Amino acid sequence: MPGKPFQSKLAPHEEEIRSLLQEGTSYRRIAAQLNEQYSLALSHNAVFSFMKTRLKKKPAHKQFHDGLPRDIRESLLKQVAAVWTHESTAIEGNTLTLGETLLVLEHGLTISGKPLREHQEVYGHARAIDLINEMVQANSIAEDDLFDLHKAVMDNSALDYLRPIGNWKREENGTTGMKDGKVIYMEYASPSDTPPLMSRWLMEFNQRLDGASTAKQAIEIYAWTHLSFVRVHPFFDGNGRMARLLANLPVLRGGFPPIVIDVANRAHYIELLWAYAIHLGTIKRDSEFVPKHRIVDQFEELLKSNWNETLEMVKAARDRQKIREQK
């Protein structure tokens, strides 16, 4: 079929081409740059035809880094990914510092005295961010997308039939906490209820996917996504990281940077999740995902106060751009 060879060659570089076009780079220059970097030997007409087809099929969602010069944009994305990865894995007990996380991601270094598992968690989370960034331009999110994301998060974890990677849990899971001065255990959704719950969850999540037009809406949708996902706890492990990744997808599609919960707020964050879960009890297949409660408002306040770090990163990048343009 005419055009197929250059389409298959250019497909892996679509986002790079989009970014160059946003910077005002000509098709001729883009073709020359791609040919030099990847030895593609393509004409500028091939690049034009490829993007003409793609732009018709998939209008791009605005991104928080749109319009930034390439070097500033790449630096910003690395900053955001490092902080997001560090804070999310640290909440789960990873002991790598932010500086060590950056060294692992940027230079592939092995940190002496730190377990290999913690390095793998960092690599896995960074890969999961890449997948989330790809999903930003998707029309909708499917079950297989969640499975692929889970495979990335659980990178190199041991295989176990009862605890599958990239599939719903096959055994019960739950959490322990305090209620009325007593230690109690609460189960999440049963393995039998999980598939129908997640089918309905995906439908409702997709309905909210493009609803974050304002900062307030972004926080509300993040809260709904996170709270509903962890109520089900559909995977045997990695649910917290998955929730914090997926909850940011509508945020990113709204053109905002991700909301990253600071590990310093870990105790308050976990307390709110526990309080909400124990208030509602084990979720059933016909339960409402996120009933209104004051704890939901408190969770949204926590998100609002933790959003400043990535918002400041974007502001600093925009300021660098302005200074450069004034020279």
Same domain, 87 and 223: yes
Residue 248's pLDDT is 98
Same domain, 302 and 203: yes
Same domain, 104 and 8: no
13, 32, 57 - which closes a domain: 57
Residue 55's pLDDT is 60
Same domain, 138 and 114: yes
92: its two tokens: 């789960």
Same domain, 218 and 301: yes
Per the domain annotation, does 269 fall within a domain? yes
Same domain, 112 and 214: yes
Per the domain annotation, does 208 fall within a domain? yes
Same domain, 36 and 179: no
Same domain, 76 and 52: no
How far is 102 from 108, CA to CA, in rounded Å? 9
Rounded (to 5) percent helix, strand, coil in the chain: 65, 5, 35
Per the domain annotation, does 327 fall within a domain? no
Its domain, for residue 144, covers 70-315
Residue 2's pLDDT is 40
Q: What is the pLDDT of residues 193-203, one digit of tens each?
A: 999 999 999 99
57, 81, 98 - which closes a domain: 57
Same domain, 47 and 168: no
Same domain, 84 and 216: yes
Conformational region of residue 197, where left means phi above 0, alpha means psi within -120 to 50, and beta covers everything else: alpha
Per the domain annotation, does 24 fall within a domain? yes
Provide the 10 A C-beta neighbour count for residue 298: 16
Per the domain annotation, does 86 fall within a domain? yes
Domain count, the chain: 2
Residue at 5: amino acid letter: P
Which is more confident, 42 or 320? 320
Judge contact between 140 and 162, C-beta under 8 A: no
Among candidate residues 128, 303, 133, 136, the one with its CA nearest the CA of residue 209: 136
Same domain, 83 and 53: no
Per the domain annotation, does 295 fall within a domain? yes
CATH number at residue 172: 1.10.3290.10
Same domain, 122 and 14: no
- Block residue for tokens 């209620």: 179
Please provide the DSSP assignment of 237-296 as one string: S-HHHHHHHHTHHHHHHTT-PPP---GGGHHHHHHHHHHHHHHH-S--TTS-SS---HHH
Residues across the chain: 327
Half-sphere exposure of 246 (CA within 13 A, CB side): 30
How far is 222 from 219, CA to CA, in rounded Å? 5
139: its two tokens: 């029309």
Per the domain annotation, does 122 fall within a domain? yes
Q: What is the pLDDT of residues 196-254, one digit of tens each?
A: 999 999 999 999 999 999 999 999 999 999 999 999 999 999 999 999 999 999 999 99
Query: Most distant CA pair in the chain: distance in Å?
Result: 71
Identify the weakest region by mean pLDDT among 44-48, 172-176, 315-319. 44-48
Judge contact between 241 and 128, C-beta under 8 A: yes
The chain-wide mean pLDDT, for the chain, equals 92
How far is 233 from 71, CA to CA, in rounded Å? 39
Per the domain annotation, does 164 fall within a domain? yes
Is residue 3 predicted with pLDDT exceeding 70?
A: no
Which is more confident, 19 or 294? 294
